[in-house]
Amino acid sequence: MGKNLYILAATLFAFSLVSCGLAYTSVAQSTGDRSLWHTMGLVLLLISLVVTMAGMLTALFEQAERRTQEREEAERRKRRN
């Protein structure tokens, strides 16, 4: 699950860079268009940061859960022997 979130965050970040880049090209002809492209780039950047944080937390909790299961299994083995 964490890897999927990282891929989503990278894609959103790339779109954010493209949006900010479009503000400086001839696509954005007026000042309103430029501010719209900048705003869209900023929003995409913020969303990608939130998704990255969710990916990090997911990976962290998965690792903690895996270690807890390994520890419990090791304790069961000790009891059997």
What confidence tens digit (pLDDT) does each residue in 30-57 have?
878 888 999 999 999 999 999 999 999 9
Reported pTM: 0.80
Predicted pLDDT of residue 33: 84
Would you list the DSSP string of 10-70? HHHHHHHHHHHHHTTSTT--SHHHHHHHHHHHHHHHHHHHHHHHHHHHHHHHHHHHHHHHH
Q: Which residues contact 33 (CB under 8 A, 6 or more apart)?
A: 23, 27
Domain definitions of the chain by residue range: 2-80
Q: Please give the sequence-ordered ranges of beta strands (E in DSSP) within 1-81, or none if there are none.
A: none
